[in-house]
């Protein structure tokens, strides 16, 4: 019965909307951008509109949010300590950022192992009381996977560079992973806690062939239900560091210890879902 309730809670995974008059999670007249480095074995510099914004950005690093005016920004990723952005290893890439939205730009491998980038829009719409949001993003050079919770398949056939999302009651769930269309659990189950008023975003990145798959976890505050409350009152306070070179505030939100999803080598599995 519990499995059926959880699976039903995720039935409308792409139909999450704002309810009522909510206080925005992003200040009006601005957009927020975080950056994830998901290309193994390559330390880089990140330039935004020609300015060095992230220096010596290492694989697995997740930085942000950078508060920007709405508009289109050109991002180039270069080798570490490059003199400028004239010879990028990835890009330049134009990122259109709209007023009031939260974004994460991920540099990662495509399904075949080539370097690419994806701009994700983080869903910060209001959550129902007592619920948390889970987003899973597949940005690894690896096959499709199924994601399980408490013994039930929640997300099927997740492929690079796609995402799945759902809202569920705040609780701790036993999460596990299999390759798509199999029942053999190859990771987990592991207990994962989802928080209220929060979109917990899990990225699987790296390369299955090179055996360097890894996880990055980001938490983003959602809109507040009380129009009188400010975002800072609704979201927990977090330490903010000032980047001396860029002058921009960066908040490191790379999660450790929590495991929601991982991609595994196809050769490590056997057996089909019965």
Q: What is the pLDDT of residues 193-216, one digit of tens each?
A: 789 999 989 888 888 888 887 878
Domain contains 225? yes
Question: According to the model, what pLDDT value does residue 66 have?
Answer: 92
Residue 273 placed within a domain: no
Task: Return the CA Rg of the chain.
Answer: 19
Cα–Cα distance between 217 and 258 in angstroms, integer? 8
Place of tokens 């508060």: 67
Rounded to 5 degrees, φ, ψ at 8 are: -65, -35
3-state SS, residue 48: strand
Tokens of 124: 């910060």
Number of separate domains in the chain: 1
The reply to whether 11 falls in a domain is yes
pLDDT the model gives residue 268? 36
What residues of the chain score a pLDDT lower than 70?
Answer: 1-24, 177, 184-188, 190, 225-274
Any alpha helices (H) in 12-143, and if so which ranges?
none
Q: Is residue 52 situated within a structural domain?
A: yes
Q: Which domain holds residue 100?
A: 2-268
Token pair for residue 152?
């039930």
What pLDDT was estimated at residue 185? 63
274 assigned to some structural domain: no
Cα–Cα distance measured from residue 113 to residue 7, given in angstroms and rounded to the nearest whole number:
32
Per DSSP (E only), the strands in the chain are 31-38, 44-48, 51-57, 62-68, 71-79, 90-97, 102-109, 115-122, 131-141, 145-149, 152-158, 163-169, 172-179, 187-193, 198-207, 214-221, 241-242, 249-250
pTM: 0.73
């Amino acid at each position: 019965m519990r499995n059926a309730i959880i699976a039903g809670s995720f039935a409308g995974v792409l139909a999450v909307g704002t309810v009522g008059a909510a206080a925005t999670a992003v200040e009006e007249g601005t957009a927020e951008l975080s950056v994830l480095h998901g290309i193994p074995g390559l330390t880089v510099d990140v330039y935004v509109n020609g300015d060095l914004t992230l220096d010596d950005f290492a694989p697995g690093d997740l930085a942000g949010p950078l508060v920007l005016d709405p508009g289109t920004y050109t991002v180039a990723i270069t080798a570490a300590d490059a003199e400028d952005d004239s010879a990028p290893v990835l890009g330049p890439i134009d990122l259109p950022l709209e007023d009031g939205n939260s974004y994460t730009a991920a540099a990662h491998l495509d399904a075949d192992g080539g370097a690419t980038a994806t701009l994700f829009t983080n869903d910060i719409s209001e959550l129902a009381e007592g619920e948390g949001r889970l987003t899973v993003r597949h940005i690894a050079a690896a096959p499709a996977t199924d994601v399980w919770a408490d013994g039930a398949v929640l997300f099927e056939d997740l492929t690079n560079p796609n995402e799945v999302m759902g809202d569920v009651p705040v609780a701790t769930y036993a999460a596990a992973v299999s390759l798509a269309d199999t029942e053999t659990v190859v990771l987990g189950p592991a207990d994962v806690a989802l928080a209220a008023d929060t979109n917990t975003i899990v990225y699987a990145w790296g390369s299955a062939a090179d055996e360097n798959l890894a996880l990055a976890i980001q938490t983003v505050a959602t809109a507040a239900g009380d129009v009188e409350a400010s975002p800072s009152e609704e979201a927990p306070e977090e330490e903010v560091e000032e980047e001396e070179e860029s002058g921009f505030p960066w908040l490191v939100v790379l999660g450790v210890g929590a495991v929601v999803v991982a991609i595994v080598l196809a050769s490590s599995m056997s057996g089909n879902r019965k």
